Every structure is written in C-alpha cells, then in structure tokens.
Amino acid sequence: MPCKECPVVSQRMDLALEMVRRNRSVREIAAKFGVSRTTAYKWQSRFRARGRDGVENASRRPHHSPAKTPDPIEEFICAMRERIPHWGPEKIHAFVTNCGTLGLPSARTVARILKRCGRIEPREPAPTGLTRFEHPAPNELWQIDFKRTVRLNWYPPMKAIPMAILDDHSRFSIALDANPDRQLDTVWPVLWHAMGQYGMPLCILTDNDSVFRGRRGGITAWTARLLRLGIRHSSGRAYHPQTQGKVERFHGTLQTEVLADAVFRSLEQLQEAFDQFRDTYNHLRPHAALDLDVPADYYAPSPRERPDRIPPVEYPKGVQIRKVMNNGAISVRNCRIHVGEGITGEHVQLHDCDPWLHIEYAGHMFRRVRWDELRRDRSI
C-alpha cells in the first residue's frame, strides 16, 4: 500500500504546477491557495530548481549548533544510565557533578538526551496530599525496621531478614545487616555495634514487631535496655507504615538496586552486597529529598557515646519499689498489675499521685492506674 501523501505538500505541488503553466494571473493563483504572491513565487522557484523535492518539508535543524552537547558526553550519559539503570537524570547529573566532571549539561538536558536515546520513560506523577516531616538534627531519631524475608537458596533452605537503621534527619544508613532471624539476641548486637560506631540517638522508632513491643504489652527487654541507656522508644501506629516512611523508602531502593535481579547463596555473600550498597548510598548516590546531595553531607556522629555496658537501674532511698514477678506483673494491694516480661526480676518505682498510681522504670513513667481500680480488680 503506497504511503499517504501529506496534504500540505500536495497543495504546494498543485500551486507550483499552476504557477509554471500560468493559465491565470499570479494574484488569482495565490488567492485560490490562500497564500501571498511572494509565497507563490517561492514555491514556483523551488519546484523549478529541485522538482518535487523542492516542495517537500525541509529539515529545520540548523547547520551549525555551537551549544550542542558533544557526542562523547552524550555517550557517557547513556553509559551511566546503562550502568545504573535505576538512577534518573537528576541523580546522574548530580553524581557526575559531585565527582568534578566539567562540561556536563544541565539535568534537563541529561533528561532530553536519555529520552531521545530511548533510555527513560515518562515519569508517573507524584502523589499529592502527603505530609512530610523530619527531625531538625542528626541522631534525634533513628528509624529501625525489618524488610521482608529474602530466600538465599532452595536446598538446603536458607533465608535472611534484612534489618536497616536509618537516621531520620539525614537519611544516613546507620546499619544494614542480613540477619538469620528476628530474635532479640540477633537484633540487639546490630544496634549495640552501631551505637558504638556512631554514638547514641535520643529516640528510636520501630514498628510493633514482637521483638520490639512484645505480645502482651508493657516493657519488653528491648525497651528496657533503651530506657537504661537514656533512649526513648517510640513505635508507629499498627498497620500504618507511613510513620516509618524513610526506612520503608530505603527498603524500596534496596529491593530495586540490590535484591531484584540478584541471587545470593549465603548470608556472607548477601552482607557483602549490603555493605557495598550502604557505602554507595551514604557517600555517592544523590538523594532527591536532600536536594541531590548525599546523606553523608548531612550526618555527623552523636556526641552521646555508648557506655561499655548497659547501666543498672537505681532508685533513691526511701521510695516505694516493687519487684517484677515471673509473669511480668507487680503486686499492689493484692492486685496484680502487668508491667512487662522484659523487666522480670527487676524493680519499678511507685508514685502516689492520688487518685492515680504512677509506675516508673529507669526514670520513665510508663503506666498509671486509678487507686479505686485496684480495690475492685484482681488483675490489670
């Protein structure tokens, strides 16, 4: 089937032929085709000089483009995109600029080059109505979360549970470990080592996983250790991962850039990949939320140094204290008050603030009950 001819080119051809035949005046011919006499003479001249090619649409590309990006730089940009396909034009531009490369075009030009070369697709619109927040300084809040289980191989069956610690202010990756499980004896050494390297934060935010919040409420062993170190423990609302949005977004980047297209045979191999990614993420990869700077530019270790061991809980002389029984409860007026299995065998302090009884552990007031409820109930 022959190609359909462009209507505009066909009209030019008809005009040029009538101008050559000249069966009527130039004014009448120009009026018939809705052009000026000058335009009519132009297409007549081009038709006589080049035939049909003279009335075709000519390229508007200039013969000389002094501002055109040199071919080697375009090839370099495309090569960067192939090497790191998950980075967009802004990240590629920021990364190369931070490395000190001269002559690189703007981020918009990088985007046009990648689009022209078929390296990027149209970006989905950003969601609206989001409320963003961050703490004003490093180490005011660390976010901790587990990623979904990663299967290492099929036989013998092995798995890994990535655990990430992220600074809320700078997005700096404090730790990224491949753990075999979520038990306290596995998870706590990761945080302990991180605090030895970067100091202690003021607060730690977690989800409601059992290792952090237990199953019956009250103080867990995890929370108790943090309180003894002078660190507040906060947790997000159940089924609301947006509270830990930064570490959740970090997990998304980890999935895309490390886990999606790779197969790992051991925890050691996965941890090696995590260490390499974490170094790139902190020091090389531009971050959109940081104006395309890297997290290391915004982070500084905490001045609160971690002690060599967790300090014991001490109370002033003469205050009311109760020992926590094996079931995680204390006894007040023959009523059992649940305070948490995580502090079994330790002591809590009582404060009579009529009509309330306040219960404190390691300087933290964590529960209060009404005195009249103690008279009525046997277990709270």
Tens of pLDDT along 188-221? 999 999 999 999 999 999 988 889 988 777 899 9
Residue 350 scores a pLDDT above 90: yes
129 within some domain: no
* For residue 246, pLDDT beyond 80: yes
The model's confidence at residue 118, banded by pLDDT at 50, 70 and 90, is confident
Q: Is residue 62 part of a domain?
A: no
- Same domain for 165 and 283, yes or no, is yes
Residue 45 makes CB contacts below 8 A (sequence gap 6+) with none
- Please determine, for residue 325, whether its predicted confidence score (pLDDT) is greater than 80: yes
Are residue 112 and residue 156 in the same domain, yes or no?
no
**Has residue 4 got a pLDDT over 50?**
no
Q: In this predicted structure, which of 51-65, 135-149, 213-227, 261-275 has the lowest mean pLDDT?
A: 51-65
Q: How far, rounded to the nearest angstrom, does the alpha carbon of residue 111 sit from its chain's CA centroid?
A: 21
The domain boundary, picked from 231, 263, 297, lies at 297
Q: Is the pLDDT of residue 253 over 50?
A: yes
CATH number of residue 202's parent domain: 3.30.420.10
The residue assigned the tokens 């609301």 is 240
Binned at pLDDT 50, 70 and 90, residue 142 comes out as very high
Query: Is the residue at 76 inside a domain?
Result: yes
Closest CA to 33 of 50, 19, 53, 51: 19
Beta strands per DSSP E along the chain: 142-146, 150-153, 158-167, 173-179, 203-206, 232-235, 320-323, 329-332, 335-338, 347-353, 356-361, 364-370
* End position of a domain, from candidates 63, 82, 116: 116
* 234 and 87 inside one domain: no
What is the chain's mean pLDDT, rounded? 85
pLDDT over threshold 90, residue 324: yes
What's the confidence (pLDDT) of residue 215?
Answer: 75
Is 344 found in the same domain as 242?
no
**Residue 267 counted as domain residue:** yes
Which whole number is the average pLDDT over 18-40?
A: 84
Tokens of 188: 């706590």
Same domain, 46 and 110: no
Across the range 107-124, mean pLDDT stands at: 73
Do 359 and 327 share a structural domain? yes
Q: What is the mean pLDDT of residues 245-257?
A: 91
156 upstream amide cis, omega within 30 of 0? yes
Specify the higher pLDDT residue, 332 or 96: 332
Whether 273 and 174 share a structural domain: yes
Distance CA 288, CA 173 (A): 15
Residues 186 and 250 in one domain: yes
Same domain membership, residue 290 and residue 171: yes
Could you tell me the pLDDT band of residue 65, with boundaries at 50, 70 and 90? low
Q: Which domain holds residue 228?
A: 142-297
Distances, alpha carbon 23 to alpha carbons 15, 19, 32, 48, in Å: 12, 8, 13, 17
Can you tell me the mean pLDDT for 256-272? Answer: 90
Does pLDDT of 334 surpass 90? no
User: Distance (Å, rounded) from C-alpha 142 to C-alpha 164?
Assistant: 10
Whether residues 167 and 278 share a domain: the answer is yes
Is the pTM for the entire model greater than 0.85? no
Q: How far is CA 375 from CA 17, 320, 352, 355, in A?
A: 110, 19, 15, 12
pLDDT, tens digit, 9 for 90 and up, residues 279-296? 999 999 988 888 888 999
Answer with the residue of higher pLDDT: 203 or 110.
203
Residue 128 pLDDT level (bands cut at 50, 70, 90): low
Q: Considering the domain boundaries, does residue 309 fall inside one?
A: no
Lowest-confidence region among 20-24, 258-262, 299-303, 365-369: 20-24
- The pLDDT tens digits for 219-242 are 999 999 999 999 999 987 765 666
Q: Tell me, yes or no, whether 20 and 167 share the same domain.
A: no
Q: Is residue 303 a part of any domain in this protein?
A: no
Separation of alpha carbons 58 and 334, rounded Å: 97
3 state DSSP class of 142: strand
Neighbour tally for 287: CB within 10 Å: 20
Distance CA 14, CA 79 (A): 49
Integer Cα distance of 308 and 129 in angstroms: 46
What residues are paired with 320 via a beta bridge?
350
Dihedral pair phi/psi, residue 12, rounded to 5°? -65, -40
Comparing 28 with 323, which gets the higher pLDDT?
323
Give the number of domains in the chain: 4
In a domain, 254, yes or no: yes
User: Roughly how many angstroms between the first and final C-alpha of the chain, as a whole number?
Assistant: 86
- Name the pLDDT band for 66 (thresholds 50, 70, 90): low
Nearest to 217 by CA among 192, 240, 238: 238
Do residue 182 and residue 99 come from a single domain?
Answer: no
Question: The tokens 């995680």 sit on which residue?
Answer: 328
CA distance 307 to 2: 83
Q: Which segment of 31-45, 169-183, 199-213, 356-370 scores lowest on mean pLDDT?
A: 31-45
**Residue 161 dihedral angles phi and psi, to the nearest 5°:** -120, 100
* pLDDT surpassing 50 at residue 1: no
Report yes or no on 13 lying in a domain. yes
